[in-house]
Amino acid sequence: MLARLSWKQVRGSRLLMGLLSAAAISWLVFAILIYLHFNTGAIELLNLVVSRLVPINSRFFLTFLGIQAVLAFFLVLLLVPPVFSRDLAHQALAYYLSRPLSKLEYAWGKLAVAAGLLSAVTWIPGLLLFGLQAGLEGQGWGRQHAHIAVALFLGSLIWMAVIALPAAALSTWMRRRLSATAALLGWFFVPGIIAGIINRGLTTPWGNLFSPLSLARIAWLALFQITTPSAHPVLHHGRMPLQAIKPVPAWCAYLTITMLAAVCIAILWRRLEPIRGVRG
């Protein structure tokens, strides 16, 4: 019921439709690139060397995930703050939580729409692309590259944990949509810049642990099994490559993301109070 209500609240948004269309177009472009690899007629007609220009490998799918992740961030920005702030700003939680709805059911009901739409732009189209490539390539390509499918799925979940959970926590913390959206933007941009300065100042990769974007990227690189030097987590603004520096181990990124998710869930749990007391 809550999920249906949340969907009703956002479905009329032109911005939402624009983002979903952009995600669909992006998927289509990648699907066409895969298709061109196997359509020799088209390759000859266009005089393209597609396989050399855009090789279909882990990096191809990582690039796809990266683009979809940016769109997913905008979706979160659009979807998550309003669904919580409307209820919190108007003290509606007392109504929801006085009915037989637990906090967990409430939070899940509210986040279900965001989770569904994020899935629809990240791992679902990713796996469809993977399926298309595996189907066209044949000869056991899918089995040999199963880690890509796993990476697409887990990488998407990690991204959701890095953006959707903080968005929900910030929305319940700030209570107003404007403040929550602003805080979310700050969350997205500011830590990355701080991480870059720490990395550059101390010539270390450990500053990346302060940046959710860098954390997600480290995790993705590990999941996609990409270890070439140029693929190391690049410092923000990319002015000082880290080829010479050993990157942050993936398990540190996983651990930090897990801790971050736990903190967000704790905040969410604490802030979803039916009645907020006021000290006179």
Site for another protein in 1-30 (CB under 8 A): 15
Complex with another protein: residue 58 or 85, whichever CB lies closer:
85
Which phi-psi region, left, alpha or beta, contains residue 224 (left: φ > 0; alpha: ψ -120 to 50)? alpha
Q: Which two tokens stand for residue 79?
A: 């979807």
Residue 65 per-residue DSSP state: H
Give Cα separations from 122 to 189, 258, 263 (angstroms).
21, 20, 24
Q: How far is the CB of 209 from another protein (least distance, A)?
A: 14
- Which span sits near another protein by CB under 8 A: 78-86, 107-115, 116-124, 153-161? 78-86
Candidate ranges 139-147, 174-182, 217-225, 245-253; the one touching another protein (CB under 8 A): 174-182
Tell me the site size for another protein, rule CB under 8 A: 30
User: Is the Cβ of residue 100 or residue 201 nearer to another protein in the bound state?
Assistant: 201
Name the DSSP class of 210.
G
How far, in Å, CA of 21 to CA of 15, rounded? 10
88 phi-psi bin (left φ>0, alpha ψ -120 to 50, beta other): alpha
Q: Does 194 contact another protein by CB under 8 A?
A: yes
Q: Choose the stretch contacting another protein; rule: CB under 8 A; options: 38-46, 103-111, 149-157, 192-200.
A: 192-200
Whole-Å CA distances, 234 to 44, 142, 192, 213, 231: 37, 30, 11, 11, 8
Site residues (vs another protein, CB under 8 A): 15, 77, 82, 85-86, 89, 176-179, 181-183, 185-186, 189-190, 193-194, 196-198, 200-202, 237, 239, 278-280
